[in-house]
Amino acid sequence: MIDFGKYTVVVLSAYGVSVALLVGLVAQTLIANAKARRALEEHEKNG
């Protein structure tokens, strides 16, 4: 593993927060996409 010296905790925490935010954004995008698809299908079905 890379040695960050005395900043190891800070750097790894920043990496962890960044990964968590990216995962959250991807999840939010996928959920919004699914919701929009369902709404579009419902709209097309009802005319």
Type of residue found at 24: G
Residue with token string 């709209």: 43
Instruction: List pLDDT tens digits, range 5-45.
Output: 999 999 999 999 999 999 999 999 999 999 999 999 999 99
Chain mean position to CA 41: 25
The pTM for the full model equals 0.76
Please state the length of the chain.
Answer: 47
Integer CA distances (angstroms), 35 to 1, 7, 30, in order: 41, 42, 9
